[in-house]
Structure 1
């Protein structure tokens, strides 16, 4: 498993324009993508998700855990988050939604601006 890149999500990213939400918050899809390659510590998630406040990231993780998409495991000195089978089942639909957003980028921006 490789580290998460700080530029994993561009500031202007199609995922921010998605009219669809996983759960109740707009960051959940990005969190799921960060967990795609295996368990991550909170500090690792902060690298590509630096635009999200720590409070919002915590709320997103709790919501994803509550909804059964993420499992939180506490060890003596650290906590990790990983996708459950249910969470993994969302990765392909999420990829399709992101591809859709890229294909309709201009239309989405126009609609937001009007």
Structure 2
């Protein structure tokens, strides 16, 4: 195809000797979109939080100081390993009992 993707160029094997050949729709019906592994159309479950792109991009570009090219070339596993190395393993939030014990141990003055 030519650069603007509107038709074949002269060296294209699909180009007829008399000029560019127009391709018509094959008449086949479009397939319905397949279902995601969880049975939904777009892969999102009801109530699921969207991926925090803004935080990920900020962390990659500002904290890790990656170039945009390097950031987008990273795999999720590599990105997670960098985050874990700098921030530590993800921990669960404090429970109410743990917070109460800390507040009793270190009261505000």
- TM-score normalised by L of structure 1: 0.27
Q: TM-score, normalised by structure 2?
A: 0.28
Between the two structures, name the one with larger relative contact order (CA 8 Å, sep ≥ 6). 1
> More helix per residue: 1 or 2?
1
Larger Cα-atom Rg: 2
Which structure has greater strand proportion? 1
